[in-house]
Amino acid sequence: MIKVNFAALQNASERITSAGNFMNTELAGLRSTVAAIAQPGGAVEAWSGGAQAEYQLRQAEWDSAAEQLNLILADLAVRVDSAAHTYYNAEIINEQRFRRG
Please state at what angle helix 6-38 crosses helix 50-100, rounded to 10 degrees: 170
Does the reported pTM lie above 0.85?
Answer: no
Would 20 be classed as within a structural domain?
yes
Would 93 be classed as within a structural domain?
yes
Segment 58-100, tens digit of pLDDT: 989 999 999 999 999 999 999 999 999 999 999 999 999 999 8
Would 88 be classed as within a structural domain?
yes
pLDDT score, position 52: 78
Are 18 and 75 contacting, i.e. CB atoms less than 8 angstroms apart? no
Would 39 be classed as within a structural domain?
yes
Structural domain boundaries enclosing 49? 6-100
Would 1 be classed as within a structural domain?
no
Would 37 be classed as within a structural domain?
yes
Are 45 and 39 contacting, i.e. CB atoms less than 8 angstroms apart? yes
**Structural domain total, the chain:** 1
